[in-house]
Amino acid sequence: MGGARSDDAVSLLCMAPPAIRVDERLWEKAAELRRREWRALIAELSDVGALFEGRSASLLVIDLDDQHLRLFLHAEAGVTNVEVPRREIAHLIDEYRGVITMLGDEGNSIARMEALDMAKKVVHDDGARRIAAILPDLSPEHETRRRFFTLVVSLAVDTTKMPWARRHL
């Protein structure tokens, strides 16, 4: 075969998920525990397959600041930049943070914990749907969008200081 690729092999290459990185500015400022959490979330997101419909890319760099969520999708043809105003997702990040903060309250009854866990799932699903609306090229898989929203939340909120953030009843 001498280096020739079949059409199937080319299709598989195009379907492979890109490597995902957190922007260097955020990465350098983060504590090692937070970096470990990001690595774990990125690994979970990488397990889902193609992230962007109809695009082959080798690298996705994600940045979040007070004003914008920025995605830099690197491919052979160049870099595609997507900039989303943070206000487009801020209310969902704040709502999610509020729910996970309440989950950590001392003295929560079992019934309250179950209600908060359900609220957390609802907000998580809302976040996934919002991500789908603002990033229409992102995978059509709801679970992929949920995982992407989780990563965005972890960039916005230091959830390593909230051990109950990833706990489920």
Whether residue 2 lies inside any domain: the answer is: no
Count how many domains the chain has. Answer: 1
Domain coverage including residue 19? 7-166
pTM above 0.85, yes or no: no
Nearest C-alpha neighbor of 63 from the set 37, 50, 81: 81
The yes-or-no verdict on residue 160 having pLDDT over 90 is no
Mean pLDDT on 145-150: 94
> pLDDT for 22-51, tens place per residue?
999 999 999 999 999 999 999 998 877 678
Predicted local distance difference test score (pLDDT) of residue 92: 96
In the chain, what is the straight-line distance between the N-terminal and C-terminal CA atoms, in Å? 53
95-134 in b/e form (b: 16+ CB < 10 A) is bbbebbebbeeeeeeeeebeebbebbeebbeebbebbbee
Whether residue 1 lies inside any domain: the answer is: no
Please name the residue that has the structure tokens 């490597």.
19
